[in-house]
A and B are shown apart, each in its own frame.
Chain A
Amino acid sequence: MQELTVNGRIVAIDVEPEMPLLWVLRDHLNLTGTKYACGISVCGTCTVLVNGEAVRSCMLPVASVLGKKVVTIEGLSKDGLHRIQKAWIEHQVPQCGFCQTGMIMSAAALLAKNPNPSDADIDATITNLCRCGTYARVRKAIHALAEAPATSATAQRG
């Protein structure tokens, strides 16, 4: 048995150490919000947070994340809707939505490190693939999240 920390809970699993984290999440822990689409770490639909870093879970052996903190889309918010999820609704980002959980996790990691990312920062870090073409709205939603604190600061000064 191995112990894995997912969404703030420690769970016991009994799987091959080489099983990718994605499949532990999806098929053994029933956390299906994290998706499979390529299996070769190209598309990013399987993105989760490991110790706060956005990682692609489809090729990541579960053994390499034991003792680390894994956060999936299901655990992103403590109270229902994370501010990124709210922004995604506000800007009507998803179309089919299949890649969006990975997209949101990538955005969460970016914004945690860089609260006001430039377009170049977004280009460099949001490398998730979306077949529906939500990119312009992803960018807009991230910028809106960056602007929010600045706006309130301005209001306070005024």
Chain B
Amino acid sequence: MTVAISRREFLKVSAALGGGLVLEFSFPVASAAAGAASATEVNAWIVIHPDDRVVVRIARSEMGQGTYTALAQLVAEELDCDWTKVSAEFASPNEHIKRNRIWGSMSTGGSQGVRSSQDYVRKAGASAREMLIMAAAARWKVPASACTVENGVISHEPTKRKLRYGQVATEAAKLAPPREVKLRDPKDWKIAGKSLRRLDIPDKVLGKPVFGVDVTLPGMLHASIAQCPVFGGKVKRIDASVAEKMRGVKKVVREENFVAVVADSWWRANEALKKMPIDWDVGGNGNASNETITAMLREGLGDPKLPQARKLGDTDAAFAAATKVIEAEYQSPYLNHATMEPQTCTAWLKPEGFLEVWTSTQNAEASMAAAAEAAGLPLEKVEVHKMMLGGGFGRRGGPQDFVAQGVAIAKAMPGVPLKMMWSREEDMQHGFYRPASIVHMKAGLDAKGNVIAMQTRIACPSILKVLLPQALNQGGIDFTAVRSFSDMPYTVPNQQVDYAMRNGHVPVGFWRAPGQQNAFYRECFIDELAVAAGKDPIEYRLAMLKADDKNRLVLEAAAKAASWGTSLPPGVHRGVAIADGFGSFTAMVAEVSVSAKGDLKVRRIVVAIDSGHVVNPDTCRAQAEGNVVFGLGSILYQENNVKDGRIVESNFHNFRLPRIDEMPKVETVLVPTGGFWGGHGEPAILPLAPAVCNAIFAATGKRIRALPLTHHDLRRA
């Protein structure tokens, strides 16, 4: 079909100050392909222009992880087109609904972007390629099987005729897609599997308006909001008299659980908001604190009737027979995602009863649902324009609180485009936090130091309970709370994992690699056992991994790349950890030093990852680097404390992020073994905390059982 120009609104914003030129910016969400009358949609994923430019539609979100480019590579690989002519655009969520969810999942989390859409996007590319060949063959009146294709050019060798994709796209689009297509063997890839440059970077280095907060619309107003500092609280009383008179202020919007000021600039809105007295009904949680939350988790650990996430063999008998029993308790605090771009939503309730939303979302369908519900409109009357995310890390997926709020404010001012953005303080104190948890581990060793029994009790709030209750298993077990234990690869014959779901009032959410704190607990505890057994931590682990376990390969690869066992400069010490998750297998060696004053320097991280296949090696390395920095902050100093029912930390001065001088050297060893598709967005954070903390033990003899390190004195005793 030929796409009509009017199908989607083409939004233009001009700025008169771009280096003396008048610049016209087109939003990437606005379909450049669909905007040109002559472009042809060959199938839902692929639009081809007469000049052979190919636009690949991307259903997943781009938050820095590189999926936008990797998926385009997979489509282009099968399409067999000229990569230099490929661009990408986000698929329209409104069209998605109208076309019966034709683009599959639009959710972007769990390192799923590539691995769980690779099959259908590759088939879309292959299917379009076959249709283009069929169209050329029909024009030449030759069998399609007599034609070949390469780089977007179809050839009929016997007659030396050639046609470009752009010349046959319109005819191809009219053909029925083939019933079956054969996908290329990854070993034959020419576009996928290569470190091609990312499609999103040029606009990003130019500062083009690609993010949710950059949206600018004619007559647009700005909103800043305040929510009850105590989670679950409501607005009791406001005094808007001063705020309403402040310069630029257009309206004060009061909802059940937040107050918004709308003004002609965000700063004016926020200044007025800060001057508005608001009384909150804090509900029943005004006395919650670190202490009450710890008490809640401890009560869970002591519960005699906990559901079991794993039960192997007879742990009681094995503990009775053990030569040595070792126990340890570990814990972690709540953590905010702290995306650099605060939560934001721009909404425009149009007079004709159509709602347009622009937002940085990890889940456009969830955004559609939240927007439709808040506006009281059917999904068909809603469009969500997907913007680039200024970081996601799990914050912008399940919870669509920011979309519901943005639409609620726009509803109070129908016909006016309204951009809502949270202040950093609001963002820090109204997150969906990485759960705080306490875990008690107990292991029984035989005379040779082998682990014959392990019992783990986990007290942790459930992410799924609120955000995805259908994903809880029958026993009420949240897999994100028990991971790394319920699926522990070590061949310990007797295992028991008990889960105490204890949900406080602090909202919890999917923080990069949900459940990653369990890898910290498990892999540090294994290190404790190796020390008790007097064994090398890598040998100790290898002895507990089956011969065909993919964890072995990455562990051996990391050990080799890090020259495990060789001498290090004075004062430098190593630690190791493994973890599998998000479809991939990961092992890491950390090198650290600790000064006489107790200051830690993480010097070098060697990480080996087996993700089966690798679509863009450079992006995968970038994700490993990103996971290291993201995890490092949580090791060094990040925590969200609770006092008087609210989060204590408010901004980056008391929730620090690592700076460039804290960045260790990261060496990523990609060891794809083929045959499966693993993710890269999260796996490398899993072994980071245990590898670093095991290295700290090697350096200082101090065992870190609770993070962050600000609570520990690392000076040698």
A contact residues vs B (CB 8 Å cutoff): 6-9, 11, 16, 19-20, 22-23, 26-40, 42-43, 45, 72-78, 81, 85, 88-89, 92-101, 104, 122-123, 126-139
8 Å CB interface, B188-230 against A? 197-198, 200-202, 204-211, 213-214, 216, 222
- Residue pairs across A and B with Cβ atoms less than 8 A apart, 20 shown, are A26-B266, A27-B265, A30-B15, A30-B216, A32-B207, A32-B213, A36-B266, A38-B651, A73-B206, A73-B207, A88-B201, A89-B201, A93-B201, A95-B66, A95-B622, A96-B64, A96-B340, A130-B629, A133-B630, A139-B663
Known A-B contacts A77-B19, A98-B211; A35 and B390 likewise in contact (beta carbons under 8 Å): yes
Chain A residue nearest in CB terms to B266 = A27
In the bound complex, residues from chain A placing their C-beta under 8 Å from that of B389 are 96
B678 at the interface (CB under 8 A from A): no
| Measured CA separation A75–B468 after assembly (Å) | 46
Q: Is the CB of A136 within 8 A of B201?
A: no
Q: Do A132 and B216 touch (CB < 8 A)?
A: no
Let me know if A92 and B622 touch, CB within 8 A.
Answer: yes
Q: Which residues of B contact A97 (CB under 8 A)?
A: 64, 200-201, 204-205, 210-211, 388, 390
Q: Identify which of B652, B659, B665 contacts A38 (C-beta below 8 A).
A: B652
Q: Does B316 contact A (CB under 8 A)?
A: no
Indicate which residue in A29, A31, A40, A136 contacts B663 across the interface (CB closer than 8 Å): A136
Return chain B residues, CB-CB under 8 Å to A131: 338-340, 391, 393, 629-630, 657
B665 contacts which chain A residues (CB < 8 A)?
A: 136
Verify A136–B391 contact, CB threshold 8 A: no
Selected contact of B64 from candidates A19, A20, A132, CB within 8 Å: A132
Q: Which one of A93, A98, A134 contacts B341 once the chains associate, using CB atoms below 8 Å? A: A98
CB < 8 Å neighbour of A72 from B207, B424, B658 = B207
Residues of B within 8 A of A98 (CB): 211, 339-341, 390-391
Q: A96-B64, A96-B389, A97-B64 are in contact. Are A88 and B205 (CB under 8 A)?
A: yes
Tell me which residues across on chain A come within 8 A of B63, comparing CB atoms: 96
In the complex, B627 has a CB within 8 A of chain A: yes
Q: Is the CB of B23 within 8 A of A94?
A: no
Question: Which residues of B1-50 are within 8 A (CB) of A?
Answer: 13-20, 23
Number of A-B contacts (CB under 8 A): 215
Q: Is B661 an interface residue (CB 8 A)?
A: yes
The answer to whether the Cβ of B546 comes within 8 Å of any Cβ in the partner chain is no
Range, interface on chain B = 35 or more
List of B residues within 8 angstroms of A135 by Cβ: 625, 629, 658-660, 663
Shortest A140–chain B CB gap in Å is 11
Would B198 and A92 count as touching, CB distance under 8 A? yes
8 Å CB contact of A136 from B15, B267, B619, B666: B666
Contact B663 A133 (CB under 8 A): yes
Shortest CB distance A143–B (Å): 12
A124 smallest CB distance to B (angstroms): 8
Q: How far is the CB of A12 from chain B (nearest CB, A)?
A: 12
> Cβ of B95 < 8 Å from any Cβ of A?
no
Query: Which residues does chain B contribute within 8 Å of A78, judged by CB atoms?
Result: 19
Partner of A7, one of B19, B339, B618: B19
Known: A9-B17, A23-B265. A37 touches B342 (CB 8 A): yes
Extra A-B contacts (6), CB below 8 Å, given A127-B660, A131-B393, A131-B630? A29-B17, A75-B18, A76-B19, A96-B391, A101-B207, A133-B630
In contact, A133 and B660 (Cβ under 8 angstroms)? no
Give complex CA distance A99, B205 in Å.
10
Q: Specify which of A42, A81, A88, A134 is in contact with B652 (CB 8 Å cutoff).
A: A42
Chain B residues whose CB sits within 8 angstroms of the CB of A137 once the complex forms: 622, 625
Is B504 in contact with chain A by the CB < 8 A criterion? no
B65–A75 touching, CB < 8 Å: no
**Contact between A104 and B628, CB atoms less than 8 A apart:** no
When chains A and B are docked, how far (Å) is the Cα of A101 from the Cα of B390?
12
Please give me the residue from chain A that is nearest to B654 by CB atom: A42
Query: A72 to B16, alpha carbons, bound, how many Å?
Result: 13
The docked-state distance in angstroms from the alpha carbon of A108 to that of B204 is: 16
Residue from B64, B201, B209, B340 with most neighbouring chain A CB atoms (10 Å): B340
Docked-complex contact B265 and A28, CB < 8 angstroms: yes
Which residues of A lie under 8 Å from residue B200 when comparing CB positions?
94, 97
